[in-house]
Structure 1
Amino acid sequence: MNFSSWPALFVVDVEGNGANPPDLVEVAALPVRDGRPDKSIAGAWLTKPKRPVTPFAARVHGLTDQVLEDEPGWEEIKDAVHDLLGTAWIAAHNAHVDYRVLSAHLPQWQPAGVIDTLRLAKAAYPELPRHSLDALIKHASPDLSQAPGQRHRAAFDAYATAQLLNAMADRYESWDQLVAVAVPPGLPGAPDLEQEPTLW
């Protein structure tokens, strides 16, 4: 894979308050350049949700109402998130979720495309019984020595996802081949399927 041919891309991860639909409590956006995560302009934000964090969500990511009490509300940081992401491609693990939540919080945001590393992992490692981020980290052993924070925090998970994306992308010769496998139908950037021939 010629990584220099990639368009601008951010690996994103979001953490929520456990409600449905969720309020955001953390967002991370990590650019990938030449096949490597670039922390120099990465963005990571904590945000105080409008509704309380559920006990289950707090157990997962450790972000309680007390931790978030003095953090800015979403209205205060949304422009910074939007400005960093711009119209670049995004990648995420189980990308439907991150794309849906970010789109709900950034109505004017239009990414060029959406890479799903879960979809990519199922193609790359069909022998694995599970394709969760934990399962992939265990299987592929990506270098996480420079990952910020800890598992289930947005910056760490974005870094891990970026390392897995780069490792799996190396199986493909071109960006277009990667896109054909990794972009879920119906999401931005999905290849146009050839129309079936009809009788009229």
Structure 2
Amino acid sequence: MNFSSWPELLVVDVEGNGTNPPDLVEVAALPVRDGQPDTSTAGAWLTRPRRPVTPVAAGIHGLTNERLANKPGWEEIADQVHGLLGTSWICAHNAHVDYKVLAAHLPQWQPAGVLDTLRLARATYRGLPKYSLDALIEQVQPDLAHAPAQRHRATYDAYATAQLLIAMAAHYDTWDQLVAAAVPPGLPGAPEPAKDPTLW
């Protein structure tokens, strides 16, 4: 894979407060450049949700209401997040979730495309019993020595997802092949279905 052929791409991960629909409590956006995660230009934000964090959610990511009490509200950081994301491609694990939540919080935002490492892993590593982020980390053994924070925090999960994306990209010759395997139907960047020449 020639990484220089890649468009601008950021691996994203979000954590929520546990409500439905969720309020954001953490967002991470990590650029991938020249086949490496670029932590020097990454963005990470903690934000105080409008509704309290549920005990279940706090138990997963450790972001309690007390810890978030003095963080800015979403409206205070939305422009910063939008500014970093721009119109770049994004990548996430089970990308429908992250894309849907980000789009709900940033109604003017539209990425060029959305790669899903869950979909990509199913195409790349056929026959695995599980395709969760933990299962793929165990399968691929990416270098996470420099991953920030810990599992289930947005910064860590974005870094891990970036390393998995880079590892799986090695199985594809071109960006277009990667897109064909990794973009879920109906999300931005999905290849156009081939048209039947017999139809008007």
User: Match of 1:110?
Assistant: 110
Paired position in structure 2 for 1:2: 2
Letter in 2 for 1:132: S
SS in 2 for 1:148: coil
**1:161 lines up with 2:169 in the alignment:** no
Distance in 2 separating the partners of 1:5 and 1:197: 31
Aligned residue in 2 for 1:66: 66
Q: Superposition pairs for residues 20-39 of structure 1, below 5 Å?
A: 20-39=20-39
What is the identity, as a one-letter code, of the residue corresponding to 1:53? V
Confirm whether residue 54 of structure 1 aligns to residue 54 of structure 2: yes
Does 1:100 pair with 2:103? no
Matched, 1:136 2:136: yes
Name the aligned partner's letter for residue 89 of structure 2: W
Residue in structure 1 matched with residue 193 of structure 2 by the alignment: 193
Task: Give the SS at the match of 2:11.
Answer: strand
Identity of paired residues, percent?
75
| 1:196 to partner: Cα distance | 3.1
The answer to whether the aligner puts 1:85 opposite 2:108 as a matched pair is no
Give, as a single letter, the amino acid of the residue that structure 2 aligns with 1:21.
P
CA deviation vs aligned residue, 1:5-54 (integer Å, no higher than 9, x gap): 10000000000000000000000000000110000010000000000101
Tell me, what secondary structure is at the counterpart of 1:184?
coil
1:171 counterpart residue number: 171
Return the letter of the residue paired with 2:184.
Answer: P
Runs of 5+ unmatched residues, structure 1 = none
Which letter does structure 2 place at the counterpart of 1:154? Answer: A
Which digits, 9 at most, give the CA deviation of each residue in 1:159-192, with x for residues without a partner? 0000000000110000001001100011000000
**How far is 1:198 from its partner?**
4.9
Distance 2:82 2:185 in 1: 24
Q: 1:72 to 1:199 in 2, by over 3 A?
A: closer
Question: Secondary structure of the residue that 2:26 maps to in structure 1?
Answer: strand
Residue in 2 that maps onto 1:181: 181
How far apart in 1 are the matches of 2:11 and 2:179? 15
The 3-state SS of whatever aligns with 1:137 is helix
Give the equivalent residue in structure 2 for 1:123: 123
Alpha-carbon distance in structure 2 between the residues aligned to 1:93 and 1:80: 23
Count of equivalent residues: 200
Distance 1:198 1:68 in 2: 59
* Alpha-carbon separation, structure 2, partners of 1:4 and 1:54: 43
- 2: CA distance, partners of 1:80 / 1:21: 22
Shift of 1:197: 4.7
Distance 2:171 2:82 in 1: 31
Give the residue type in structure 1 aligned to 2:181: V
Q: How does 1:38-49 map to 2 (within 5 A)?
A: 38-49=38-49
